[in-house]
Amino acid sequence: MEYRADIDGLRAWAVLAVLLFHLDLPWMQGGFIGVDVFFVISGYLITRNIRVGLERGRFSLKEFYARRVRRLMPSLLVTLGLTLLFTSLLAAQTHLMSAAKSTLGAALSISNVLFWKQTSYFDDALKLNPVTHTWSLSLEEQFYLLYPLMLIWLTRGSVTSPTRRGLQRGLIALVTGSLAFSLWSTSAQPAFAFFMVPSRLWEFALGGLVWTIEPTLSLWGSSRTRSITLLALGGGLIWGSAALMSEFDPFPGSLALLPCLGAALVILAKPSAEGFGLLCAHPALVRLGKLSYALYLVHWPLIVLYRHARFTLTLSPVAQVGLGLGSLLGAVLLHRLVEEPLRRRVTLWGGVSLLRALMITVVLLSASSALLWRRALSPAHPALSALKLPADLDLRAFKRETYGGKGCAPPRCSQSGPALSAERGEVSAYVIGDSYALALYQGLTQQLKAERVVFWERGACEFYSLNYAGNMNKNQASCVQSKRDAFAELKAHPELPVVLGQHWHANYHEEMRYHPSSPEGVPLPFQAPPAVRSHSVEGYAHFVATELIQLKQRLGLRSLTIIGGPPKFAEVFSPLDCLLSPLSPRPCDWSPLDDFTGWHRAFQTALTRHSEGHFEVIDLYEGLCAEGRCENLTPEGRLIYSDYGHLSSWGATHVVGLHRARFAEALEVELR
């Protein structure tokens, strides 16, 4: 079959977009669309290869699967093995457990299923998992398992049809059905839509559809003009999507059409290695395209291992350049030493079957991953001996087991409203907000007589605004509904005091979009105002204060108190991670009061200045921070945080204890 250098050039485009996105370059925030370009390329090539094989009577399912295994598995297994080894040397054991579980999933080609069950691709936790990127490889391998059977069924009785109409009609139906499901699931089940085959199948099928269209290209005008036009349009769609999209946009859904159609147009363009076609078919791009699989495999583990070694998510310009060059070097080595030598071999040296060796490697890697995953880290670890942790505490579940909001259950706590009735005197005050507000539950319960204080919580939901929400909230509909219910409840009982807490830093620099959440009876503008984005702490505090004042006035609240955020330990690392990290470059029992740690203090100072006397702010820094440092342990030696920023049950009790009088006054309850 004809080799097309321009497709390797398109592969280079795709892997460059992904690499630059993962290196956190601000002008490539949508570079994750490179994966979608890969899917279209795979659909095109697999459809062509299977169809041509069928036409020539040479297609064998057994040989097809064997070629896929030889092409993909050796490099993948070597990468997974080395990644697991270096993760065990560089990462805290709390993160090693997650990496081991994901490695097991990747070795068995089901990591996309694991990530779907756990979280969103863009969550910070996955930025510390060195095999997050294998979700697309698992999805593609699942596609390879199913697609040949579908293709054989679609082409039954029409193998020799010169018009390929039977296949074309089937692929159109497949694209239409899968795309329709993707559009629905992106809003209804966003994690499933992102990670799973049914909502991505149309991207592969679109590539197959491109192959059926190719014979009609002669009807589209002169070849040179057509090629330039299609390449310009396709390249514009791909790179425009990579530059203008971001992780906050709903994806895949309708937005995935842009890069996928772009890839389809570039494939149809068939650019040559001259003139305008050099943008896709330049020899340097072609060589990079041949390295694309190896580069995709190695770049992400290098980035994540660097983050563990440096204990930071932020990549400096020097780190970005170094990791980019290191990824290229690693890709060259993997390609030359593993991928190329083994992709066409049936047996290894000494006559050992390659497939048998790969199966043994999968078993050994899976067993190693399973052992690391299942191993419970003992609280008797030397670094933890002074923390006085319960003897039966499984540190793999540390965050869940020590979270300050643990134990808050109906009727006092709910995401849809309390079961207690304010009319019957069962409610004396409300605490509303996200998981940072709920984290105070244990402290308020231990320090105050707060039996009639109810908690209304929805994770990652902005309760400080009637009408705005940030794109970080992947469950906008449930957030808006929860806010409407909460605001209606508060408006019905304005005489009861309200305490509101949030992860205030979450929406900083983020675009706040208009999502009306006002209770019944509050007029809404006919046309939604433009999105709001703050570029300074002062501007953000002014926006939040304006929203809080409007909230209090429209709901008629008598008393509103705001809980300022605690000093966060790190971007996503916790004090526990620090204690368990082999290479932690910083102290663990305290944090310097720098621009990052002190962000909430700067914000709440500005927020108080803009409050105009409409609400009070409780400063959680008081008692925790002094003389340029913030404590991460209570006076008894307990961890204040259950993760990077949420208060633990010990931390909540300590913090509320430092401000007992302020909290008692805000909630109008007595001290214990």
Do residues 446 and 517 both lie within one domain? Answer: yes
Mean pLDDT for 421-427 is 76
The pTM is what?
Answer: 0.84
The answer to whether residue 619 is domain-embedded is yes
Q: Of 29-38, 81-90, 285-294, 491-500, give the lowest mean pLDDT range.
A: 81-90
The answer to whether residue 381 is domain-embedded is no
**CA-to-CA distance for 399 and 618, rounded, in angstroms?**
25
Element (H, E) at 149: helix 134-154
Q: Is the pLDDT of residue 519 over 60?
A: no
Q: Which two tokens stand for residue 400?
A: 């869940």
Do residues 52 and 94 both lie within one domain? Answer: yes
Task: Give the pLDDT band (50/70/90) at residue 527.
Answer: very low
Do residues 330 and 459 both lie within one domain? Answer: no
Q: Of 15-19, 68-72, 452-456, 650-654, give the lowest mean pLDDT range.
A: 68-72
| Burial annotation 243-252 (CB, 10 A radius, 16+ → b, else e) | eebebbebbb
Q: What pLDDT, on a 0 to 100 scale, did the predictor assign at position 526?
A: 37
The answer to whether residue 156 is domain-embedded is yes
Please state, as a whole number, how many other Cβ atoms lie within 10 Å of the Cβ of residue 390: 9
DSSP string over 288-306: HHHTHHHHHHHHHHHHHHH
- 268 compared with 214, residue with greater pLDDT: 268
The answer to whether residue 149 is domain-embedded is yes
Give the structural domain span for 267.
5-374
Task: Give the pLDDT band (50/70/90) at residue 588.
Answer: confident
The answer to whether residue 552 is domain-embedded is yes
Q: Which two tokens stand for residue 149?
A: 């059977």
Mean pLDDT for 564-577 is 83
Do residues 252 and 153 both lie within one domain? Answer: yes
Task: Give the pLDDT band (50/70/90) at residue 662.
Answer: very high
Q: Is the pLDDT of residue 504 over 70?
A: yes
Mean pLDDT for 251-255 is 93
**CA-to-CA distance for 105 and 87, rounded, in angstroms?**
16
Share of the chain above pLDDT 90, in %: 42
Q: What pLDDT, on a 0 to 100 scale, did the predictor assign at position 46?
A: 93
Share of the chain above pLDDT 70, in %: 82
Do residues 406 and 261 both lie within one domain? Answer: no
Longest dimension (CA), the chain: 85
Task: Give the pLDDT band (50/70/90) at residue 410.
Answer: confident
Q: Which pLDDT tens digit goes with each residue over 317-331?
A: 999 999 999 999 999
Q: How far is CA 270 from CA 51, 203, 228, 587, 591, in A?
A: 20, 19, 9, 57, 56
- CB neighbour list of residue 191: distance below 8 Å, 6 or more residues apart: 115, 116, 119, 120, 474
Q: What pLDDT, on a 0 to 100 scale, did the predictor assign at position 376?
A: 43
Do residues 339 and 420 both lie within one domain? Answer: no
Do residues 485 and 340 both lie within one domain? Answer: no
Please state, as a whole number, how many other Cβ atoms lie within 10 Å of the Cβ of residue 661: 9
Do residues 176 and 139 both lie within one domain? Answer: yes
Q: Give the domain CATH number at 424.
A: 3.40.50.1110
The answer to whether residue 335 is domain-embedded is yes
Q: Is the pLDDT of residue 345 over 70?
A: no
Nearest to 511 by CA among 254, 314, 249, 250: 249
Task: Give the pLDDT band (50/70/90) at residue 184.
Answer: very high
Rg of the chain taking only CA atoms, in angstroms: 28
Q: Which pLDDT tens digit goes with each residue over 481-497?
A: 888 888 988 999 999 99
The answer to whether residue 389 is domain-embedded is no
**CA-to-CA distance for 538 and 609, rounded, in angstroms?**
10
Mean pLDDT for 91-103 is 81
Task: Give the pLDDT band (50/70/90) at residue 67.
Answer: confident
Mean pLDDT for 204-218 is 87
**CA-to-CA distance for 337 and 298, rounded, in angstroms?**
14
Which residue(s) pair with 413 in the sheet?
455
User: What's the domain count of the chain?
Assistant: 2
CA dihedral for 144, 146, 147, 149, sign (positive or negative): positive
Q: What pLDDT, on a 0 to 100 scale, did the predictor assign at position 609?
A: 93
Task: Give the pLDDT band (50/70/90) at residue 521.
Answer: very low
Q: How far is CA 310 from CA 84, 132, 243, 306, 595, in A?
A: 18, 19, 28, 6, 18
Do residues 78 and 26 both lie within one domain? Answer: yes
Mean pLDDT for 235-240 is 96
Looking only at the bridges linking them, the beta strands covering 498-501 and 429-433 are parallel
The conformational region for residue 157 under phi > 0 = left, psi -120 to 50 = alpha, else beta, is left
Q: Is the pLDDT of residue 125 over 80?
A: no
Q: Check: CB of residue 616 under 8 Å from CB of residue 561.
A: yes
Mean pLDDT for 145-155 is 82
Q: Is the pLDDT of residue 354 over 70?
A: no
Q: What pLDDT, on a 0 to 100 scale, did the predictor assign at position 164?
A: 64
**CA-to-CA distance for 432 and 585, rounded, in angstroms?**
37
Task: Give the pLDDT band (50/70/90) at residue 655.
Answer: very high
**CA-to-CA distance for 40 and 449, rounded, in angstroms?**
61
Do residues 319 and 217 both lie within one domain? Answer: yes
Do residues 452 and 316 both lie within one domain? Answer: no
Do residues 435 and 363 both lie within one domain? Answer: no
Q: Which two tokens stand for residue 281?
A: 């078919």
The answer to whether residue 145 is domain-embedded is yes
Mean pLDDT for 207-217 is 87
Last residue of a domain, one of 309, 341, 374: 374
Q: Check: CB of residue 204 under 8 Å from CB of residue 187.
A: no
